[in-house]
Amino acid sequence: MSDRILLGAFAFHPGGAHVTGWRHPSSRPAEHLSIRHHRHIAQTAERGVFDTLFLADGLYFWDRYPSGVDHYGALRPEPFTLLAALSQVTSRIGLAATVSTTYNEPYHVARTLASLDHLSGGRAAWNLVTSRYDEEARNFGGDAHIDHSRRYERGREFVDVVNGLLDSWDDGAIVADPASGVFARRDGLHRLDHEGEFFRVRGPLNTARPPQGHPLLFQAGGSESGLELAADTADAVFTRGGSTADVRRFVDDLRARAVRHGRSADAVKIMPSVMPVVGETAADARAEADAILALTPDALILEDVSHQIGQDLSGRDVDVPFDYAEEFDTSNETRSPKPAVDRLLADGPATPRDVYAWSYRRSLLAGTGPEIADRFEELTDDGGADGFIVQFPYLPGGIDRFVDHVVPELQRRGRTATAYDDLTLRERFGHPRVPDRAHR
Amino acid sequence: MSDRILLGAFAFHPGGAHVTGWRHPSSRPAEHLSIRHHRHIAQTAERGVFDTLFLADGLYFWDRYPSGVDHYGALRPEPFTLLAALSQVTSRIGLAATVSTTYNEPYHVARTLASLDHLSGGRAAWNLVTSRYDEEARNFGGDAHIDHSRRYERGREFVDVVNGLLDSWDDGAIVADPASGVFARRDGLHRLDHEGEFFRVRGPLNTARPPQGHPLLFQAGGSESGLELAADTADAVFTRGGSTADVRRFVDDLRARAVRHGRSADAVKIMPSVMPVVGETAADARAEADAILALTPDALILEDVSHQIGQDLSGRDVDVPFDYAEEFDTSNETRSPKPAVDRLLADGPATPRDVYAWSYRRSLLAGTGPEIADRFEELTDDGGADGFIVQFPYLPGGIDRFVDHVVPELQRRGRTATAYDDLTLRERFGHPRVPDRAHR
């Protein structure tokens, strides 16, 4: 917990986090791959003095269900390409790209990260994911996704290799002195010669050490392996959110894990994910939430709920109740926790539309600017959060409203900055520059 | 050959193509990884109405020789990251990135290319290379580079997969209609399901088909496999240059190959590489060439010549002649053609400095603006070239001079444009948009 609340603006899809947010009147779905749309989002985030922009990613198109093609605005530009473009139309905001350590090579990632950090003046970040869909594996020569714990072992080694490559050159090793003709100091150059279980990488990297030393590393803490990797290597973690007590538990657990890994308790900044829907009045915010809910066609509701509960509901009527416990064989479940199923088991029959509305509403934080600011303060002061990854059900309208109504309130209360200072992204997160090899 | 001469501005290293071009008084070696330096180069190229910017690349740092670290300004930003940034500070110029098909995955490359093409409004291009240095292999888990012909077989399949992924969506398949809730037309979506020797890729791509359909594909025609791949798949080729007769032979050969592959004779635009050194007078140009030559320290001359002739000259005096035929065992050579060796064998003893100066000067085209424009016209009208990949021994001064002195002359003669038209890069190269799957 700190006085200052960190803000990350999350773009799940170009149209927002809600599955049909692209239908919102403020959206521009025909521009999801063009710079104009993303420039507006990034510049609005910068107007709100967000610490970072944060782009989700997946290495596949979700064509598992027909309605996913018909109705789901799931096209995305490649994150680093987009962030590099945005680096030239923004000046201070962080630029965080989601990177799969399962389907990438560390040499490419280290180089791209270092390049973005140089070109943006110390604003690059990466969000480590391990990719879990079979569709992703099949775009990279595999049949099914790799076992969860193996993916995290690879992720762990990936971080080591990337950091090692980023340290190829000591900070002052690039002399670039035209008079003497000395370009680089040999004693400031380090070959990596990494030989691990997953990677063999010689190095050195052909870019100089970037402004942040190591660009900021995000992770999403979920599973046991994910939490351990984050506690050991991440600079910041975003987590599901939930109640103040849920956040407190998560924070205490992750801080204890960081200490067990020999790091300080605040070495990892913890940012629960929140999805505000902002209104002038509370009733206005609820109406807006209902309006977003109503954007989803019935076919997509059926397939979305099928996906959530792991059972096929296609062909049903979205408004006819079904009894999960009665209708499906759940005797041999190996599913990960699915809140929608727990709700169905607890409450008995429900319609698919009910399940959809329930699971959608529980992820929302609807209210006025001051109400949302109150909640941010509570999750920070009582929950121990360092900041928030702010999701928007639709874009760009969702971030416009947030910056117009919530940010001024947070600023008035002295909880977020009113202007950028002259720090790198890493420093803004309270982390010093990682020293080079010569200074450890 | 055509009336209109295509121009590509080549950035070999940020400091230029000459090994110590970074020492030139106009250079800014401390800014090689920052946007300011590259923005100046790109905006100058755009001021000269260049058709494209063209970035070389390698996936390693050249630390084989100590002097390569000490004196050779070989750091580079990752090309796609740099070009995406440059897309926002330029408006019309093409943006070509060198891509290794040996150490990349086609899904990533297709997606990045498509993203850059969307974000730049139809200006993306790629230059296919297969990477030939052991240092590159060792950054990606290998020991030594893969056999030449295997690399080209992989490159061929790589192009097929990238093009197939770029065709995942028909042109009008992304409807994005908020009123009906239809985001995409299912019948306009094509899964690739590629199963080849090197790649298994399911698709579809999670970006819409880019403005150019298929972003422009460059290749460098050299070896037999390289020429065949280029004749079969490239939209443009750059080649070593040489005499008008050399260029004519290359052009006739490549056009005949294209026809044998069932393409039209002008399906591949042919752009010899030239390296102008421009002066107000011929004497001024020669003096400038000498000044660049003198920037190279003796240690680097020795190692550069060692590298060129494949024999170790370290410890020698650069000004003491050696006799190649007498001193080295050349009985069991498997070397590729090395002009420096041929010159040494033909002319007898020479000093390392002589060899360096000779090999450097033969790559230069020194002269006044009109003299260089004459040469461009000759290589076009008699040699059959479609345009030129223009290299600059030092940057940014080299491109400043070219745009100030050569471009106006070419424009006055009506051989290059004085302003950009409203075409995509592909169209500017005289190639129509590649039709989508529904229109073949």
Residue range A370-396, pLDDT digits in tens: 999 999 999 999 999 999 999 999 999
Q: B112-168, pLDDT tens digit by residue?
A: 999 999 999 999 999 999 988 889 999 999 887 788 889 999 999 999 999 999 999
Euclidean distance between CA atoms B137 and B139, whole angstroms: 5
Q: What is the pLDDT of residue A207?
A: 96
What is the percent of chain A with per-residue pLDDT over 90, rounded to a whole number?
Answer: 81
Please give, rounded to a whole number of angstroms, the shortest distance from the CA of A178 to a CA of chain B: 4
Confidence of residue A1 (pLDDT cuts 50, 70, 90): very low
Contact residues on chain A for B161, CB-CB shorter than 8 A: none
The pLDDT-based confidence of B331 (bands split at 50, 70, 90) is low
Q: Which residues of A touch B86 (CB under 8 A)?
A: 88
Residue A183 to residue B140, Cβ atoms within 8 A: no
What pLDDT is stored for residue B1 in this prediction? Answer: 44
Count of A–B CB contacts within 8 Å?
225
Domain A6-279+368-439: homologous superfamily in CATH: Luciferase-like domain (3.20.20.30)
Q: What percent of chain B has pLDDT over 70?
A: 98
Closest chain B C-alpha to A95 CA, distance in angstroms: 13
Q: Pick the residue with more confidence: B334 or A81? A: A81
Mean pLDDT, chain A, rounded, equals 94
Q: Where are the domains of chain B?
A: 6-275+364-439, 284-360
B370 Cβ contact partners less than 8 Å away, ≥ 6 residues apart: B409
Q: What is the pLDDT of residue A396?
A: 96
Helix, strand, coil fractions of chain A, as percent rounded to 5:
40, 15, 45
Tell me whether residues A119 and B33 touch, CB distance under 8 A. yes
CA distance B204 to B183: 16
Distance from the Cα of A341 to chain B's closest Cα (Å) equals: 28
Cα distance from A367 to chain B (closest Cα, Å)? Answer: 26
Neighbours of B342 (CB within 10 A): 11
Determine the Cα angle at B112 with ends B11 and A197, to 5°: 95
Pick B342 or B371 by higher pLDDT.
B371
pLDDT reported for residue B337: 54
Q: How confident is the model at residue A161, as a pLDDT? A: 98
pLDDT at position A363: 87
Given a cut of 90, whether residue A403 has pLDDT beyond it is yes
| Closest to A219 measured CA to CA, from A248, A193, A257 | A257
Are A75 and B23 an interchain contact pair (Cβ–Cβ within 8 Å)? no
Contact assessment for residue A172 and residue A192, using Cβ atoms and an 8 Å cutoff: no
Closest Cα in chain A, distance from residue B417 (Å) = 27
Of A72, A105, A119, the CB nearest to B183: A72
| A105 contact residues in B (CB cutoff 8 A) | 103, 140
CA B401 to CA B414: how far, in whole Å? Answer: 20
Contact B183 A29 (CB under 8 A): yes
| Distance of alpha carbon A357 from alpha carbon A351, whole angstroms | 10
Those of residues 105-164 in A touching chain B at CB distance below 8 A are 105, 107-108, 111-112, 114-116, 118-119, 121, 135, 138-142
pLDDT at B262 over 90: yes
How far off is chain A from B224, nearest CA to CA, in Å? 29
The answer to whether the CB atoms of B140 and A201 lie below 8 A apart is yes
Is the pLDDT score of B194 beyond 60?
A: yes
Q: Which comes out higher in pLDDT, residue B247 or B331?
A: B247
Nearest-Cα distance to chain B for A23, in Å, is 4
| DSSP, residue by residue, A205-239 | -SSPPPTTSS-EEEEE--SHHHHHHHHHH-SEEEE
Q: Cβ(B164)–Cβ(B204) under 8 Å?
A: no
B27 Cα to chain A: minimum distance (Å): 9
Q: Which chain B residues are within 8 Å of A30, Cβ to Cβ?
A: 174, 176
Interface test with B, best of A112, A206, A304, A395 (most B CBs within 10 A): A206
Residues in A closer than 8 angstroms to B32, CB to CB, are: 176
Minimal Cα–Cα distance from A68 to chain B, Å? 9
CB contact under 8 A, A61 and B206: yes
> SS3 string of B267-305?
CCEEEEEECEEEECCHHHHHHHHHHHHCCCCHHHHHHHH
Of A25, A33, A108, the CB nearest to B207: A33
**From the list A22, A85, A178, which residue is nearest B85 (CB)?**
A85
Task: Give how far A245 is from chain B: nearest CA, Å.
Answer: 38
Best CA proximity match to A104, nearest among A121, A128, A120: A128
- Provide the pLDDT for residue B362: 86
Interface of B with A in 202-231 (CB under 8 A): 202-208
Closest CB to A206 among B34, B61, B208: B61
Q: Is there a contact between B34 and A119 if contact means CB atoms under 8 Å apart?
A: yes
The mean per-residue pLDDT over the stretch B399-426 comes to 98
Q: Which of A318-327, A373-382, B229-238 has the lowest mean pLDDT?
A: A318-327
User: Does residue A2 surpass a pLDDT of 60?
Assistant: no
* Beta bridge mates, B96: B54, B125
What number is the average pLDDT over the span B332-346? 68
Query: How many residues in total does chain A contain?
Result: 440
pLDDT (tens digit, 9 = 90+) per residue, A205-259?
999 999 999 999 999 978 899 999 999 999 999 998 889 999 999 999 999 999 9
Instruction: Choose from A19, A89, A112, A183 for mutation: most chain B CBs within 10 A.
Output: A183
Q: Place A337 in a pLDDT band, splitting at 50, 70 and 90.
A: low
The per-residue pLDDT of chain B, averaged, comes to 94
Q: Which positions in chain B touch A81 (Cβ < 8 Å)?
A: 80-81, 84, 112, 115-116, 119
How many Å apart are CA A350 and CA B313, to the nearest integer?
83
Q: Do B70 and A112 touch (CB under 8 A)?
A: no
Report which of B2, B3, B7 is spatially closest to residue B274, judged by C-alpha positions: B7
Residues A85, B82: C-beta atoms closer than 8 Å? no
pLDDT at A325 (0 to 100) = 84
pLDDT band at residue B324 using 50, 70 and 90 as cut-offs: confident
Whether B77 and A108 lie within 8 Å, measured CB to CB: no
Cα B377 to chain centroid, rounded: 21
A136-185 pLDDT, tens digit per residue, is 999 999 887 778 889 999 999 999 999 999 999 999 999 999 999 999 99
Positive or negative, the CA dihedral B33, B39, B41, B45 is: positive
B 1-30 residues with CB < 8 A to A: 20, 22-25, 27, 29-30
Contact A69 B184 (CB under 8 A): yes
Chain A residue nearest residue B142, CA to CA: A200
**pLDDT, position A296:** 94
The Cα angle at residue B170 between residues B168 and B176, in degrees rounded to 5: 100
Lowest mean per-residue pLDDT among A349-353, A402-406, A414-418, B330-334: B330-334
**Measured between CB atoms, which of B81, B104, B206 is closest to A74?**
B206
What is the mean pLDDT of the segment spanning B288-314? Answer: 91
Partner-chain contact A69 B139, CB within 8 Å: no
Which of A 295-334 lie inside 8 A of B, CB atoms?
295, 297
ipTM above 0.90, yes or no: yes
CB contacts under 8 A, A 73-102 vs B, are 73-78, 80-82, 84-89
A84 chain-B contacts, CB cut-off 8 A: 80-82, 84-85
Choose between A362 and B101: higher pLDDT: B101
In this prediction, residues A306-325 reach a mean pLDDT of 89
Kindly state the percentage of chain B with pLDDT values over 90: 81
pLDDT of B329 over the 80 cut: no
- Minimal Cβ distance to A139: which of B80, B82, B203: B203
User: Which of B30, B115, B181 is nearest residue A297 as measured by Cβ atoms?
Assistant: B181
CA–CA dist A40, A16 (Å, integer): 13
How close is the nearest chain A Cα to the Cα of B421, in Å? 20
Give Cα separations from B251 to A416, B248, B381 (angstroms).
Answer: 63, 5, 12
CATH fold for the domain made of B6-275+364-439:
TIM Barrel (3.20.20)
